[in-house]
Amino acid sequence: MTMSPPLVRGALAAASLVALSACTSLAPHQSPTAPAATAYLEPAPGWMNAAPADTLARGPWWALFGDPVLDQLAPQVAVSNQTVAAAAAAVAESRAAVRAQRASFFPSLALDVTATRSHTPTSTSTSHDVGLAASWTPDLWGGTGDSVSAAVASAQASEADLAAALLTAQTTFVTDYLSVREADDEIALLKSTIEAYQRSLTITRNRYAAAIAQRSDVLQAQTTLASAQASLSALVLQRAQLLHAMAVLAGQAPSNFALPPGDWHSSVVPAVPVGVPSELLQRRPDIASAERAVAAANAKIGVARAAYYPTLTLSADAGPNSTRLNQLFKVSQFAWSLGATLAETLFDGGARDAAVDEARATWDQSVAQYRQTVLTAFGSIEDQLSAAASYEQQEAYYRAASQAADQTETEAQNRYKQGTIAYTDVVTAQASALSARRSLIQMTLSRQTAAVSLISGLGGGWSTQQLTSDAKTR
């Protein structure tokens, strides 16, 4: 059955009306909202629109610790870390995907050259054909544009993932470096303590030889010395492992990475400014990546909705055809054709409706994941702010405890030499003093690493100057 041209036009018009009634417009991008808070412990009700600021330069935030060696080593992470390099390659891949999607806006052009020789019992013939074909599907309903928008959002998410990978690697590297310096201090403490224990052992042996002390005193002194030596050996191993981890983060073989013992700037703990604003969380790359995932999901809703509309394809063919090669490019051999195809699916069993519903559900899921990322960030910052305040108080207590333990140890040794107490009291005082000294050093490290975590949790710093400057340029 052949339909007349008027009937064909009527059928196409009816199909278009069906499509238009199914979906009359594509939804614009809907930015997800995040919880608004002027202070962390008392978040204001409601959510504010997302405004990622992860592209702002963070600078060498580790310079806050005032360590020239760290300032020299930390930049190697951005250059040589292989996880960061993989993330950078993913960014390049996503940008290429954007270019591939944008190519859909343009017509395609193909060249076809054919030479055919045929033979029959009565004749032999040769034909030559040169064809030029062009095809273009205009983006009438915005489906291609939404595909490009989704690809762009995905590329921006990849860029945020790259920033997150770099910030994570830098945070780990700086934390490991501070841990190495803390280990250097503990190693120096244990070495001096071991020397003191060796002198105590010598004194105890002399007293035993003079029949002033018991043999058990000598054994206890030997035990105390051996325990300290074992602790020193464990610390040396811990330092080596930290150094190996730093080498890997810096993209080097551990055997080629060395860090001689040096000064630990333990007194430098970046102070947290009062009233850190929650807007700084917008600098976190993971939040920016989650927001871009929402944008990509939103664009895909438009792609799914565009499937309701008919597809128009324009095509053209041109080229000569001749049985003789020397006449192939003569005007008389030239032929061309133009065509247009309008296609619309009249019935698909609800497949397009399901695709749109799936895209909307994906968008809802990405919004929930974005908000969960923001809430998790709020919780993490709360933990770090609480830890920073607590560690500062604990350090003061540990310092007082260490000073008191040092005095107790000195008094115990003097009283033992005078013969007024047993050597077990000296051992107890020595163990308490060493434990207090090490606890003080470890708490100082905890304060510094908490500052590192807070800096990282706020996206690489807590200065609002860049956010203000950026807002003025928007």
> Phi-psi region for residue 419, left (φ > 0), alpha (ψ -120 to 50) or beta?
left
Q: What is the pLDDT at residue 328?
A: 52
Q: Does 400 or 352 have the greater pLDDT score?
A: 400
- Does 5-104+142-309+369-473 carry CATH code 2.60.120.10? no
With a CB cutoff of 8 Å and minimum separation 6, the contacts of 92 are none
d(CA 247, CA 245) in angstroms, rounded, equals 5
Which range of 21-35, 259-273, 376-390, 424-438 scores highest in mean pLDDT? It is 424-438
pLDDT higher than threshold 50 for residue 268: yes
Nearest to 289 by CA among 154, 143, 424: 154
Domain locations in the chain? Answer: 5-104+142-309+369-473
d(CA 213, CA 206): 9
pLDDT at 359 over 90: no
Token reading at 200: 């105590």
Q: Has residue 339 got a pLDDT over 50?
A: yes
DSSP 419: T
Q: Which pLDDT score, from 0 to 100, does residue 7 have?
A: 33
* Average pLDDT of span 10-14: 35
**94-108, 423-437, 444-458, range with the lowest pLDDT:** 94-108
Picking from 71, 280, 256, the residue whose alpha carbon sits closest to that of residue 174 is 71
Nearest CA among 361, 360, 384, 369 for reference residue 287: 369
pLDDT band at 274 (very low <50, low <70, confident <90, very high): low
Highest mean pLDDT among 109-113, 265-269, 321-325: 265-269
Q: Is the pTM of this model over 0.75?
A: yes
3-state secondary structure of 261: coil
Which residues on neighbouring strands pair with residue 202, listed in sequence order? none
Instruction: Read off the pLDDT band of 59 (50, 70, 90).
Output: confident
d(CA 195, CA 225) in angstroms, rounded, equals 9
Which of residues 113 and 263 earns the better pLDDT score? Answer: 263
Instruction: With residue 137 as reference, give the H or E element that holds it.
Output: none
CB crowding 159-188: b at 16 or more within 10 Å, else e: bbbbbbbbbbbbbbbbbbbbbbbbbbbbbe
CA-closest candidate to residue 451, choices 356, 408, 387, 382: 387
| pLDDT of res. 150 | 84
Higher pLDDT, 235 or 133: 235
* Kind of pairing between the strands at 124-136 and 311-322: antiparallel
Q: Could you tell me which of 371, 295, 458 has the C-alpha nearest to residue 34?
A: 371
Encode pLDDT of 70-110 as tens digits: 999 999 999 999 999 999 999 999 889 888 888 888 888 88
* Sign of the Cα pseudo-torsion (379, 383, 388, 392, in order): positive
State the average pLDDT for the chain.
79
Tell me what pLDDT residue 20 has. Answer: 33
The more confident residue out of 248 and 290 is 248
- Percent of the chain having pLDDT more than 90? 37
The token pair at 70 is: 């760290």
Helices 143-209 and 82-102 cross at an angle (nearest 10°) of 180
Task: Identify the helix (H) or strand (E) that includes residue 27.
Answer: none
Banded pLDDT at 240 (limits 50, 70, 90)? very high
Dihedral sign, Cα of residue 393, residue 397, residue 403, residue 406: negative
**Read out DSSP for 351-404?**
HHHHHHHHHHHHHHHHHHHHHHHHHHHHHHHHHHHHHHHHHHHHHHHHHHHHHH
∠ at Cα 175 (173, 176), nearest 5°? Answer: 65
- Give bridge partners of residue 334 from the DSSP assignment: 320
Q: So what's the pLDDT on residue 180?
A: 97
Residue type present at position 60:
P
Does the pLDDT of residue 474 top 70, yes or no?
Answer: no
pLDDT-derived band of residue 53, with 50, 70 and 90 as boundaries?
low
* pLDDT at res. 243: 96
In this structure, the number of other CB atoms found within 10 A of the CB of residue 130 comes to 18
Q: What is the pLDDT of residues 111-164, one digit of tens each?
A: 777 777 787 777 777 776 777 777 877 877 778 788 888 888 888 888 888 988
Tell me how far apart the alpha carbons of residues 56 and 62 are, in angstroms, rounded to a whole number. 17
Q: Is 15 helix (H, G, I), strand (E, B) or coil?
A: helix
**Is residue 400's pLDDT more than 90?**
yes
Q: Are 115 and 131 in contact (CB under 8 A)?
A: no
What is residue 46's predicted lDDT score, i.e. its pLDDT?
52
